[in-house]
Amino acid sequence: MAVGGTPEKRGVIATCNYEAREYGVRSAMASAYAQRICPQLIIIKPRFELYREVSRQLHSIFADYTDQIEPLSLDEAFLDVTDSDNCRGSATLMAREIRQRAKELTGITVSAGVAPNKFLAKIASDWNKPDGLKVITPDEIDDFVRELPVKRLFGVGKRTAERMSKLGIETCSDLRSWDLVSLNKRFGSFGERLYQLARGIDNRPVVTSHRRKSLSVEHTFDSDLPDEDAVLAQVPELLEELSGRYQKIRNEYAITKRFVKVKFGDFTQTTMEELCALSEKEPFAVEPYRRLMQKAWERGEKTVRLLGAGVRLHDLKARDSVTQLELFEQK
């Protein structure tokens, strides 16, 4: 069973149960392809209002233990319980109690990971799914991380994992044999992060409020757009939706860049972006976006299944927000 859009309308899989995963069905996979590899797959429509309500119920439980909560998604969050007095201050007991209360209130199972930092807690939360608890104590970190496959590290995608494999790096133990300078030369700024994660180091705090860095809209079409003219004809509608969404947050964010995304019929994709002056009066003007979209399409010159348009944002409420002063006094 899976949740997602219908194959007839270019739907994608949002999630699926473990039985479907055994056939290779995965999140973000095209529903039509998912049904080809798993013919008996039943796809049901998402019920977002229900998901939001259950999420609110779960977060109400979390709030009984700490106010240091960093949401990751509707059903995932980091909790910093360092200063919590609940359950005699035991994070493990709190996790057990939260799981039990969640089951009683919502009827769903919850997996939890307990560890000294966010990186390890996330790994631990996935360790005994779909209904489990994994605890990593400080004195267990070294042995646990040493045998961890590098593909489990945050930020290591398929391509990076393949690059590492060619270098003989399969586990964190292999990664530890590389010094920091060598990792930086090979992986750039990500090298330092890899050096730390291979040793179980993650000093990121739990962030209780998130601010946007970008805003975008995307349209997936029932049938591929055949050519450049058909692609460019979609730009005004995309911008109308994007502009409408931005109006709701315009007092909190300034636009710094505009960008477009094109996903071709063969599922390859490309993006293009350009700087946008803070003083620009028409950040959603059609022509600049048409120009970007045209350049993006010319990279493939193929039929198109998805188009996107968006803006990069500057947080006007950030503590370090800097305003560019005018060179001359305005009369």
Q: Is 70 a catalytic residue?
A: no
Which of the following is catalytic: 49, 53, 76, 192? 76
The token pair that represents 267 in the structure block: 């599922």
- For residues 52 and 74, the answer to whether their CB atoms sit within 8 Å is yes
Contacts of 6-13 with C-beta under 8 Å, sequence gap 24+, read: 6/31, 6/43, 6/45, 7/31, 7/32, 7/34, 7/35, 7/43, 8/222, 9/222, 10/220, 10/221, 10/222, 10/305, 11/43, 12/220, 13/43
CB within 8 Å of 242: residues ≥ 6 apart: 215, 216, 217, 284, 309, 310, 311
DSSP per position, 89-152: G-HHHHHHHHHHHHHHHHS----EEE-SSHHHHHHHHTTTTTS-EEE--GGGHHHHHHT-BGGG
- For residues 164 and 156, the answer to whether their CB atoms sit within 8 Å is yes
Nearest to 312 by CA among 281, 274, 267, 271: 274
103 phi and psi angles, rounded to 5 deg: -65, -40
Taking every pair of Cα atoms in the chain, the longest distance, rounded to a whole number of angstroms, is 71
Residue 75 in marked binding region: yes
Question: What residues are designated binding site for Mg(2+)?
Answer: 75
Active site residues: 76
Question: What residues are designated binding site?
Answer: 75
